[in-house]
């Protein structure tokens, strides 16, 4: 019997249900997906898309009201997508499934529903009351973010040996012993202190972690604008970026359609597509399935014991 | 008669002379290169490389001593590469050539020679006593840098409507009326002020420039990690990045071997390869010619009247 994976359906006014339905035949070849939503929702979505509901489809009911209105930002769909997500978390915690794959929610719909989380990762942190590492990427290249959704002007203030050491140790604990490239913060990685000196803290954190691990797991600080060139990329599957756009701009330039989001360091494994609800193309049979297929694949991969 | 282009030879202990000699037959098809160095240097380099000196090669003598010592950082080669560069600038100022293409100098060799410039662009600014815009890229995509070699922590302090407006007006004056994508500073371009508010100054500068120009030349602020995805890239050949790695990390991830460096907004047109002296492979007939070939092509392109 193949591994069970929970799928939260995302905002039903966006592309979530369409992606789940259209990709089902493919993902059912590698796992048993449990869709966290009422069967009637999938039936209504299938009808809109002019596709038939697969025979082998398993849904976990939420027993909540819904009405599909493509592209509409509203409290009802916000409540539903949150309930779907939390049902997926519950299934993971109960050991019913190996991992959770989340389809995109709409942040404003959550806000209208009175939910104050910035997104899935934030909600997971507050549910589990612990830090999580946000990593994005694909088979070729993953980037973990040391800082995430903060203004650029605040980034340098967060780069300390202590905080980075903690992050890197959490990262290796979640990932297993893979070689990791750690980026510098400044242009030319500070150019020996001429263009900024945070690289000293980064160097010290790398040295501290490698000493603690007894192995040269972490390498760097890498020169940020060279780290993602083909020659350097060839040496690393995993990178740690000091800030959001440092890692994600090169990643998305190279692998936009393939990328997924992974939450590491939590009691459960959760992966996600790396795109939004795409309200503008909802229920038009136009959504790209690649990121979702990769998210399911990564959920299976990262839930294997390391 | 084809356009004349001055070529400064770079640090002769690096890959400069090799690239000039090996690429000569190709570039001589599109322009008349004037090599700013003594003929004896090219002869010595050709001998080391086991190639013969082309018959149609024109050199502009410097009458300076030299001794090729591959990979050595020294004052003599620093002096020579600076003199070669300044000879090229002189030929441009005298109208002898349409543009200057610079091969890589070694910053520490310049320092040993008592030259305090950070690089070519810095030397040009001080020679002409005016600002220059640093733009890197290739036919597919160019990125101009609003801030360059400063610590990341200082970047946000420089983003003001006044300074950016001046920069953008200088940029369009040098470039002609091409559509330009201007990046935001913060993750998600600030997400309506939640993740930083410098985007308000960027928006205001864009509006001010477009109003002054009477045309929607500048667009943005673009979300930094989405700006270089294939779908957005398709809309722009030119980008303005707020800081060094924001523009150069995606550029080099996508187009490392093809990229070149252009100095805009000066009385002369200068382009450059986007790599260093590569001391480790000097005089081994292994240097990649692509960036140099593109730099010559761009020199011809950007020296055309707009």
pLDDT tens-digit profile of B102-112?
Answer: 999 999 999 99
What's the CA gap between A160 and A201, in Å, rounded?
6
Q: For chain B, what percent of residues have pLDDT higher than 70?
A: 99
Chain A contact set for B188 (CB, 8 A): 149
What does DSSP assign to residue A132? -
Nearest CA in chain B to A107: B191
Q: How many CB pairs under 8 A join A and B?
A: 116
- Which chain B residue is nearest to residue A155, measuring alpha carbons? B153
The pTM for the full model equals: 0.91
Q: Of B119, B121, B140, B153, which to mutate for an interface test with A (greatest number of A Cβ within 10 Å)?
A: B153
Closest residue of chain B to A225, computed from CA coordinates: B249
The yes-or-no verdict on residue B2 having pLDDT over 90 is no
Burial of A286 per CB tally in 10 Å (0-12, 13-18, 19+): exposed
Q: What is the C-alpha to C-alpha distance for residues A238 and A260, in angstroms, rounded to an integer?
A: 14
Of B230, B243, B249, the CB nearest to A250: B249
- What is the per-residue pLDDT for A218? 98
In this structure, are residues A197 and A156 in contact, taking their beta carbons and an 8 Å threshold?
no
3-class SS letters over chain B: CCCEEEEECCCCCCCHHHHHHHHHHHHCCCCEEEEECCHHHHHHHHHHHCCCCCCCCEECCCCCCCCCCCCCCCHHHHHHHHHHHHHHHHHHHCCCCCEEEECCCCHHHHHHCCCCCCCHHHHHHHHHCCCCEEEEEECCEEEEECCCCCCHHHHHHHCCHHHHHHHHHHHHHHHCCCCEEEECCCHHHHCCCCCCCCHHHHHHHHHHHHHHHCCCCEEEEECCCCCCCHHHHCCCCEEEECCHHHHHHHHHHHHCCCCEEEEECCCCCEEEECCCCCHHHCCCCCCCCHHHHHHHHHHHHHCCCC
* CA distance, residue B155 to nearest chain A CA (Å): 7
The pLDDT of B224-236, averaged and rounded, is 95
Which of B17, B2, B14, B8 lies closest to B54, judged by CA? B17
Task: Quote the tokens at residue A42.
Answer: 């999938």
The answer to whether the CB of A127 falls within 8 A of the CB of A134 is no
Contacts with A151 from chain B: Cβ below 8 Å: 156, 186-187, 190, 195-198
- Min Cα distance B124 → chain A (Å) is 20
Residue A271 sits at φ, ψ, to 5 deg, of -120, 165
Q: Do A152 and B226 touch (CB under 8 A)?
A: no
What was the pLDDT predicted at A176?
86
Burial classification of residue A166, based on how many CB atoms lie within 10 Å of its CB (0-12 exposed, 13-18 middle, 19 or more buried): middle
The SS3 of residue A167 is helix
Residues A238 and A245: their CA atoms lie apart, in Å, by 16
Confidence of residue B1 (pLDDT cuts 50, 70, 90): low
Measured between beta carbons, the chain A residues lying within 8 angstroms of B252 are 225-226, 228-229
Which pLDDT value is given to residue B232?
95
The pLDDT assigned to A2 comes to 87
The pLDDT assigned to A135 comes to 96
Cβ <8 Å between A256 and B230: yes
pLDDT mean by block of 10 residues, chain A; 306 residues: 93 97 96 98 96 93 97 96 98 97 95 92 94 94 96 98 97 92 96 92 98 97 96 96 98 94 95 92 94 96 80
Complex confidence, ipTM: 0.90
Tokens of A12: 């039903």
pLDDT value for B192: 85
A253·B190 Cβ contact <8 A = no
How many whole angstroms separate alpha carbon A282 and alpha carbon B86?
60
pLDDT value of residue A270 = 97
Contact between B265 and B170 under an 8 Å Cβ cutoff? The reply is: yes
The angle that helices A120-128 and A75-93 make with each other, rounded to 10 degrees, is 50
Domain ranges in chain B are 1-133+265-306, 140-257
Q: Is the pLDDT of residue B274 over 90?
A: no
- Is A118:A156 a contact under the CB 8 Å cutoff? no
**Residue found by looking up tokens 């590469």 in the block:** B81
Looking at chain A, which residue has its C-alpha nearest residue B243?
A: A187
pLDDT at site A190:
93
How distant is the Cα of B297 from the closest Cα of chain A, in angstroms? 23
User: CA torsion, points B43, B46, B52, B55, in degrees to nearest 10?
Assistant: -50
Contacts of B149 in chain A (CB under 8 A): 187-188, 191, 195
User: CA A88 to CA B76: how far, in whole Å?
Assistant: 69
Q: Which residue has the tokens 């780069």?
A: A159
Q: Which class would CATH give A140-257?
A: alpha beta
Using a CB-CB distance cutoff of 8 angstroms, which residues of chain B are in contact with residue A199?
A: none
CA atoms within 13 A on the CB side of B85: 28
pLDDT of B238 above 60: yes
Q: At what angle do helices B244-255 and A244-255 cross, to 10 degrees?
A: 20
Interface test with B, best of A253, A257, A276, A291 (most B CBs within 10 A): A253
User: Could you tell me which chain A residue has the CA closest to the CA of B147?
Assistant: A187
- Is B244–A254 a contact, with Cβ atoms under 8 angstroms apart? no
Q: What is the mean pLDDT of residues B87-93?
A: 98
**What residues in A contact B249, CB-CB < 8 Å?**
224-225, 227-228, 246, 249-250
- Same fold across B1-133+265-306 and B140-257: yes
pLDDT in tens, B172-211: 999 888 999 999 999 999 988 889 999 999 999 999 999 9
Closest residue in A to B153 (Cα) is A156
Structure tokens at B170: 């200088």
Mean pLDDT of the region B227-240: 96
Q: Nearest chain A residue to B190 by CA: give it.
A: A151
Question: CB B224 to CB A252 under 8 A?
Answer: no
d(CA B168, CA A141): 35
> Smallest CA–CA separation between B305 and chain A, in Å?
32
Q: Is the pLDDT of residue B66 over 60?
A: yes
- Residue from A185, A222, A248, A249 to probe the interface with B (highest B Cβ count within 10 Å): A249
Q: Which of B245, B247, B286 to mutate to test the interface with A (most CBs of A within 10 A)?
A: B245
A contacts of B227 (beta carbons < 8 Å): 249
3-state secondary structure (DSSP) of residue A107: helix
Q: What is the rounded CA–CA span in Å between residue B283 and residue B41?
A: 13
A118 to chain B, closest Cα gap in Å = 11
Average pLDDT value for residue range B88-98: 97
Spatial CB neighbours of B5, under 8 Å, sequence gap ≥ 6: B27, B31, B32, B33, B34, B97, B98, B99, B100, B101, B296, B299, B300
The distance of A188 to chain B (nearest Cα, Å) reads: 9
Nearest CB neighbour to B228, from listed A187, A243, A252: A252
Give the mutation candidate from A224, A252, A286 for the B interface (greatest B CB count, under 10 A): A252
The CATH number of B1-133+265-306, from 3.40.718.10, 3.20.20.150, 3.40.980.10, 3.40.190.10, is: 3.40.718.10
| Nearest CB partner across the interface for A153, out of B156, B249, B253 | B156
Residues of A with CB under 8 A from a CB of B: 148-153, 155-157, 185-188, 190-191, 195-198, 224-231, 233, 243-246, 248-254, 256
């Amino acid at each position: 019997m193949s591994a069970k994976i929970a799928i939260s359906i995302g905002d039903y006014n966006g592309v979530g249900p369409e992606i789940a339905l259209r990709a089902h035949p493919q993902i059912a070849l590698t796992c048993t997906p449990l869709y966290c939503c009422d069967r009637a929702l999938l039936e209504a979505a299938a009808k809109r898309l002019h596709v038939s509901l697969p025979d082998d489809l398993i849904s976990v009911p939420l027993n909540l009201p819904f009405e599909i209105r493509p592209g509409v930002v509203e409290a009802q769909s916000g409540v539903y997508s949150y309930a779907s997500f939390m049902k997926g978390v519950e299934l993971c915690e109960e050991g019913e499934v190996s991992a959770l794959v989340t389809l995109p929610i709409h942040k404003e719909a959550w806000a209208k529903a009175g939910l104050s989380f910035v997104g899935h990762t934030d909600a997971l942190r507050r549910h589990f009351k612990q830090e999580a590492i946000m990593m994005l990427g694909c088979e070729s290249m993953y980037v973990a973010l040391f800082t995430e959704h903060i203004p650029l002007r605040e980034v340098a203030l967060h780069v300390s040996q202590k905080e980075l050491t903690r992050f890197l140790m959490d990262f290796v604990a979640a990932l297993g012993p893979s070689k990791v490239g750690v980026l510098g913060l400044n242009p030319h990685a500070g150019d020996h202190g001429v263009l900024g000196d945070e690289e000293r803290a980064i160097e010290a954190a790398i040295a501290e972690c490698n000493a603690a691990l007894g192995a040269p797991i972490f390498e760097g600080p890498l020169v940020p604008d060279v780290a993602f060139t083909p020659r350097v990329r060839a040496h690393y599957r995993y990178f740690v970026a000091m800030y959001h756009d440092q890692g994600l701009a090169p990643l998305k330039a190279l692998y936009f359609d393939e990328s997924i989001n992974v939450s590491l360091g939590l009691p459960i494994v959760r992966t996600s597509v790396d795109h939004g609800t795409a309200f503008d193309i909802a229920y038009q049979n136009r959504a790209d399935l690649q990121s979702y297929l990769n998210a399911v694949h990564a959920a299976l991969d990262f839930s294997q014991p390391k």
